[in-house]
Structure 1
């Protein structure tokens, strides 16, 4: 069985996500850390759901629990990558971090980013159908940074709110599309440098191991040892997420299918657009772990 796991980032969380997930010890730990009895009810409140600290802790815990419940039914993956905060769950799934420490790190990561954002408020803007040269002109005019690179005509820009408003107007005048993301920090941009430095100090005291499978980072390509893992997880907070390169690195492992773990289908859609010969599905599409395992087996065992 040759398949890859992609762990989602924040922004698409919703009350009905992962309908099959059970209330296992990982979920209970996550709920306790968030101080909620019913995480689905909590997600129904947009104000709660969009808070950075809630979202990062919730998604990390649920993604870890989802993989923990699915893993006994399938063979080990051939490659793993995570998108933005999804890297924490990806590193844990690859054996680099223990689940309980990973959820704690998600809390510490969000705390560092929120403290940084308090003095440098910002956000993110997804831009599609704009040429590379037009994106560079937009960045030069607004001062925004390239936060995430999904493809040649699909990027996410980050920076101060006023600059984002200016960029929205310019994108629409160019005839392209843009969407303000449901986050309140300028993730993966230089405005998060203090947060990256703070998280790096936190990671110095965390127990890291070499990955058991091929693990690809947003900021440092393949992760081969504990030291590289620490550096990559801290660096990506304030540097561009090179998701297009992550997808190419995963594809190079000659996998037969891809499973997205997390809310929504954003990563699966991006994968299918870029690599249509290798099918991708999202855990959110299924009603049970058995159904997911059956789909993986039908493709990965060929």
Structure 2
């Protein structure tokens, strides 16, 4: 079995996440307690009880999501799970690197907290927006963004799956790009409730802050390949993890390319770790040439089922 782990990104969070896992899995409890000690807010209470309006703030969302993922990953690791690759959507890349041994759980959560705060600060006071665009090809959407650029920055932030991308930037430019996209044949343009123009050049201040922070961070050896958002695949000979993470926050996320590369490597089992089923859906819409079982893990019941299934298959 060639197993890949996929880690959810920001937007999938909700109050209550991890509460049943904390109660039923000692390994999850140990990791969450460890991670909670690394931040200056009550991480466990926010995950388990919200409120959502606080949990949805980027500076809190990011460490909470990474802590959740690290706890689930620890349970799977103790059950003998042996992935051959991992990837994450945006923030989920930190969880993937934690799973691969580059970061400890607490270190990953501390970095996610720093990243979230830096991303909020990068565009504080600037009117910005983000929108999902459905039904266009890459070039046509890029042309729409170029046509709206007189009103400010607007760029393709996410290549999620065929016909599903996201744009982000200055609010007026995003609105105009959506109008042009519709004129060019887009089925829908859906505004996204996010706190900033993520994965665009407007995140350059956050990228600089991360680059400086990384000079003080230890990076462990990668135990299996992580497929990076800004590459759409694994790192090359001249790449470094700090440089790729610095680039990631200000560059497009090539998730469609990542999923295709994983499929080309012969992945025949996928586990999505995190609330929601966003990545499961993207996989099924991208990898259509063959059926690959995709299992989502969010609840205690789902995690127990994943452990049982993997132990039987191994």
- TM-score norm. by structure 1 comes to 0.89
- Partner Cα distance (2:113, 2:99) in 1: 18
Match of 1:148 among 151, 158, 173: 158
- Partner Cα distance (1:9, 1:34) in 2: 22
Does residue 189 (structure 1) correspond to residue 200 (structure 2)? The answer is yes
Matched-pair contact (CA < 8 Å) for 1:6–1:80: yes
Does residue 283 (structure 1) correspond to residue 297 (structure 2)? The answer is yes
Matched-pair contact (CA < 8 Å) for 1:124–1:157: yes
- Partner Cα distance (2:156, 2:220) in 1: 31
- Partner Cα distance (1:286, 1:178) in 2: 35
Does residue 28 (structure 1) correspond to residue 33 (structure 2)? The answer is yes
Residue matched to 1:263: 275
Q: Report the count of equivalent residues.
A: 299
SS in 2 for 1:38: helix
Does residue 8 (structure 1) correspond to residue 18 (structure 2)? The answer is no
Matched-pair contact (CA < 8 Å) for 1:151–1:244: yes
- Partner Cα distance (1:204, 1:272) in 2: 38
- Worse overlay, 140-149 or 127-136: 127-136
SS in 1 for 2:93: helix
Residue matched to 1:240: 252
The Cα of 1:134 is off from its aligned counterpart by 3.1
Alignment of 1:219-234 (within 5 A): 219-220=230-231, 221-223=233-235, 228-234=240-246
Residue matched to 1:135: 141
- Partner Cα distance (1:131, 1:124) in 2: 18
Match of 1:39 among 40, 46, 59: 46
Residue matched to 1:92: 98
The Cα of 1:284 is off from its aligned counterpart by 2.6
- TM-score norm. by structure 2 comes to 0.86
- Partner Cα distance (2:127, 2:210) in 1: 18
Q: Which runs of 5+ in 2 are unaligned?
A: 24-28
SS in 2 for 1:270: helix
- Worse overlay, 270-279 or 230-239: 270-279
The Cα of 1:286 is off from its aligned counterpart by 6.2
Matched-pair contact (CA < 8 Å) for 2:98–2:104: yes
Provide closer, same or farther for how the CA distance between residues 107 and 170 of structure 1 changes in structure 2, counting only shifts above 3 A.
same
